[in-house]
Structures are given as structure tokens and as C-alpha cells.
Copies of this chain bind each other. A is one copy, B any other.
Amino acid sequence: MGNMTRDSSRPATTRPLRRDAELNRQRIMIAARELFSERGFETTLDDVAHRAGLGVGTVYRRFPNKEHLIEAMFAERLDELAELATQAAHAPDPWAGFLDFLWRAAELITADRGLHDVMTSTVFGHDQVARAKDRLIPIARDLVRRAKDTGKLRADFAAEDFALLFKMIGAVSAYTHTDAPDLWRRYLGLLVDSLRAEPGPPSPLPVPAMDAETLQNAMARCHR
């Protein structure tokens, strides 16, 4: 938690907050993390205030608008992802590293709809987020290159495919997380099977398919 890099969300040029204000700021961040992870960008600052047990004005005093709050929350989460990718790229077995990254990143993204949203969309003015992405991209390319060099990753895989893979898994997760929170693993399992360069029998899927009734529920809950 108390890391050594500068806290870029509150530059050192700013006077420290009054103690009660600092406490409330933390409450806001906690509430925001919870809500954004559940509902993504649809979350409202009014929601955040309510969940934090504070007035809306308090939230707007601290963060001029939603964009700033998102910046503060997600730049660091993207760095988490970059850290993951770095570790994976240096794994002794690059193919295992590649798979590891895929599963772990999917884990983060399905657990946090907000993270999915920042990863797959570009919002004008998210400087820190944009820079975090720029850091992530070359690492991902390196990861792909190494995995291909082992001959285990299909040759036509591109680093850009990560984005769409995550989009697909995010879609499954958004659709089914209420009724079958683990179902995304089934489909990532399928996708991973299709990425292997070397022929082999289908690997067992970690989760069974939805039954008909649960699927009905998911469809009923989905209003688009």
C-alpha cells in the first residue's frame, strides 16, 4: 500500500488535506473501487457519495469530475497489469508465462468491470491511464514474441488480439456474472485451446456450461 513512488493522484505541490478530509477521501476511493468494479463506467459520482456515506458535494470537492476519479483509481491498476506482464515475459517457460498472463489478466478484468472499461476504451484526457497503457503495450509484444519463439503459440497471434480476447471475456463476464460468476473461465479455456500451435486433444474446461434455466435468468436480466 504505502509505496515509495510519488502519489501522482495528489501531487506534492498541494497542501496535505485536513485529517477528516483525508479520511473522507479514502472513503470515497473505497466506495468508488467497489462500485466501479461492479458497474464500470456507468457508476455515478452520486452513487459513490451515497455508498461512501457522504454528500455529493464532498465528492465533487475532492474530484472535479468523474474523469479525475477514474484517473486516480485506474492508472495504478493498469500498472499492476503491466507488472503481471513483465513477470510473465520473464518466466523461464515463455508459453507458461503467456498463459499465466492471460488467465491472471482475465481474472482482474472479470473481477473489475471498471478495469475492463478503461482497458478497452479511450477517454479523452486520461493522461495517466494512456501512459500506463503505453508502458503495457511493448511488454505485451515481448510476451507474444517469446511465446511464439517456443513454437507453442500459433504464429498468427498478434499482440492486438489481447484486446479482443479481453473484450470477449469481458462480455461473457458482464452477461453472466450474477448467475454464473465463474463461467468466463470456460470460454477463456476454449480460446486458450485455440491458441496452441501444436496439435493436441481439447484440454478439459474448468467450468461446465450453464444449464438452460440459468441461461434464461441471465437473458432476462440483460436489457440490451
Query: Which residues in A have some Cβ–Cβ distance to B below 8 Å?
Result: 40-42, 117, 120-123, 137, 154, 156-158, 160-161, 163-164, 167-172, 175-176, 183, 186-187, 190-202, 204-205, 208-212, 215-216, 219-220, 222-224
Contacts and interface: CB of A to CB of B under 8 A. Distances in A.
A121 to B, nearest CB: 4
Nearest to A217: B122
Contacts of A42: 224
Nearest to A196: B202
B200 A195 contact: no
B41 A224 contact: yes
10 A-B pairs with least C-beta separation: A171-B171, A158-B209, A194-B194, A199-B199, A193-B194, A168-B168, A190-B194, A122-B219, A121-B222, A154-B202
How many copies of this chain? 2
A202 B194 contact: yes
Nearest to A163: B215
A2 to B, nearest CB: 33
Contacts of A176: 164
Contacts of A224: 40-42, 117, 121
A220 B133 CA distance: 14
23 contacts: A41-B224, A117-B224, A121-B222, A121-B224, A122-B216, A122-B222, A123-B223, A154-B202, A156-B205, A157-B209, A158-B209, A160-B210, A160-B212, A163-B210, A164-B210, A167-B171, A168-B172, A170-B171, A171-B171, A190-B194, A193-B193, A199-B199, A199-B200
Contacts of A157: 209
B219 A121 contact: yes
A179 to B, nearest CB: 12
A160 B209 contact: yes
Nearest to A172: B164
Given A121-B220, A154-B202, A163-B210, 18 more contacts: A41-B223, A121-B222, A121-B224, A122-B216, A157-B209, A160-B209, A160-B211, A160-B212, A161-B209, A164-B176, A164-B186, A167-B172, A168-B171, A168-B172, A171-B171, A193-B193, A197-B201, A199-B201
